[in-house]
Amino acid sequence: MKGNFRWWIGGLLFLSTVINYLDRQTLNVLGPSLKVEFHWSNEDFAWIIISFRIAYTVMQTVGGRILDRLGTRNGLSVTVLWYSAVASLTSLANGFWSFLGFRFLLGAGEAANWPAATKAVSEWFPRRQRGLAVAFFDSGSSVGAMLAPALMLFLMTHAGGWRPAFVIVGTLGFFWLFLWRRTYHPPETHPRITEAERAEILGDHAAEHAEAAQEAGARPARWSELLRLRQTWGAIAAKGLTDPVWFMIADWFAIYLASRGYSLEQTVAGYWVPFLGSGLGNLFGGTFSGWLIRRGWSVGRARRLVIAAGSLGVFALIPAAFAASYVFLLACFAVATFSYASMSTMANTLPADLFQSRTVATVAGMAGTAAGTGTILATFTTGVVADRFSFTPILVVASFVPFTAALLVLALVRNTAQSGRGVLKVI
């Protein structure tokens, strides 16, 4: 670990994301069984998901702002404590309205994980490693989603049903919180890193720290200041038009496979494939953009290339909608999620690339709110269209959305040394 303590921090961020996704995927994996037990339609299930998304959407921006004021250590501590408690208490749900209420509270707690993790990356990693660090923690969403089906099936079988499953998964966050509180401090004052690593971390963005110190109170930029910058809108578009596609897959994939006539065993056997594709895409996007930067590419150019290329791969959702073969269907979803995750990693990295550290979580939260708003609309539309028609038009339309995001990023995420002085970096 000598000279690389920052990757231990990255590992904790990865674990928080895994636990975050296990908590939220518990309902999604158990969805087909809960729909039968409580007599829910697809529209009913959509409203339960939407309740999560409404809270998640609002608290992305609010939570990001709070994080920039509380700091990474305390902010993420509150976040994990909140959603772990709510996840465990979901075991008390006894119908549509109680599930809806618990999911709303879970969304409020889970919202700050990504702004907090992005802020931690901006504090702990040199610029050349930020793409890979974001890919590392973001891949926890795929790992959590992959683990969820087998874990839920095991708990349903051996722990006494779905109620103990919520309790057991919810308690994981409390163990993580103990490690986090013992481990995380800013690199400037951390007692467990070498002076060489401290110099490498702080030296890479020394100008940023110096400029931040000159600002009165080193305050975060106001929302109104940020919304005047086209780079803010580029970061918002990058996440706001990609996350809804991901959550459509993450929330509905088990039900989609069931709608195609596949059994519960086939659903569990294939459920992990798109999430494996996503995890590999996270790592590819971060690694490849870092490789390009080491080869002399500017940070902005490297990020934009991965975003543009990734948007093309999401078109694999179109053949998936018409696939007759189970294996081919899974392969198409894997290609689409690999491509999505490559560009999503860059979208999550943009706030840390573009903005001063004291403003990173605020911008990441604003982008998350845009993503949440799009996801709410997509979730409602999915429930209605799936009940009245099928999932086919949903997949066809979803394949075009990330391409639109890529076009906006190419147009907006460009800056100069004079733009956004005191708020932006040059990439």
Output the pLDDT for position 427.
61
CA dihedral defined by 167, 173, 175, 176, rounded to 10 degrees?
160
Mean pLDDT of the residues in the chain: 83
pLDDT in tens, 294-335: 888 888 888 899 999 999 999 999 999 998 899 999 999 999
State how far Cα 218 lies from the chain centre.
28
Domain that holds residue 324: 5-412
Closest CA to 205 of 187, 217, 220: 187
Of all residues in the chain, what percent carry a pLDDT higher than 90? Answer: 25
Please state the domain count of the chain.
1
Task: Establish if 422 belongs to a structural domain.
Answer: no
Task: Establish if 421 belongs to a structural domain.
Answer: no
As a residue count, the chain comes to: 427
pLDDT band at 88 (very low <50, low <70, confident <90, very high): very high
pLDDT band at 206 (very low <50, low <70, confident <90, very high): low
CATH of the domain at 94: 1.20.1250.20
Amino acid in the structure at residue 181: R
| Residue 385 clears pLDDT 70, i.e. is over it | yes
**Which range, 253-262, 336-345, 373-382, is most confident?**
336-345
Round to whole Å and give the CA distance between 71 and 42: 40
| Average pLDDT score over residue span 355-368 | 80
Task: Establish if 206 belongs to a structural domain.
Answer: yes
Round to whole Å and give the CA distance between 301 and 293: 9
Output the pLDDT for position 57.
83
| Residue 127 clears pLDDT 70, i.e. is over it | yes
Round to whole Å and give the CA distance between 336 and 316: 5
Structure tokens at 162: 């779905």
pLDDT in tens, 186-202: 888 887 877 777 777 77
Output the pLDDT for position 305.
93
* Residues 6 or more apart in contact with residue 381 via CB below 8 angstroms: 394
Task: Establish if 425 belongs to a structural domain.
Answer: no
Closest CA to 286 of 354, 348, 361, 224: 348
* Residues 6 or more apart in contact with residue 39 via CB below 8 angstroms: none
pTM for this prediction: 0.70
> Over the Cα atoms of the chain, what is R_g?
21
| Average pLDDT score over residue span 226-253 | 87
| Residue 213 clears pLDDT 50, i.e. is over it | no
pLDDT band at 364 (very low <50, low <70, confident <90, very high): confident
In contact, 100 and 40? CB cutoff 8 Å: no
* Separation of first and last alpha carbons in the chain: 30
| Residue 2 clears pLDDT 70, i.e. is over it | no
pLDDT band at 212 (very low <50, low <70, confident <90, very high): very low
Task: Establish if 185 belongs to a structural domain.
Answer: yes
| Residue 15 clears pLDDT 90, i.e. is over it | yes
To which H or E segment does residue 84 belong?
A: helix 72-89
DSSP state letter for 215: S
Task: Establish if 313 belongs to a structural domain.
Answer: yes
**Which range, 245-249, 258-262, 274-278, 311-315, is most confident?**
311-315
Task: Establish if 417 belongs to a structural domain.
Answer: no
Round to whole Å and give the CA distance between 175 and 179: 7
| Residue 23 clears pLDDT 90, i.e. is over it | no
CA distances from 131 to 4, 49, 343, 363 (A): 16, 30, 11, 17
| Residue 119 clears pLDDT 60, i.e. is over it | yes
Task: Establish if 239 belongs to a structural domain.
Answer: yes
In contact, 64 and 364? CB cutoff 8 Å: yes
Closest CA to 284 of 240, 241, 339: 339
Residue carrying the six token digits 């902010």: 75
| Residue 354 clears pLDDT 50, i.e. is over it | yes
In contact, 169 and 22? CB cutoff 8 Å: yes
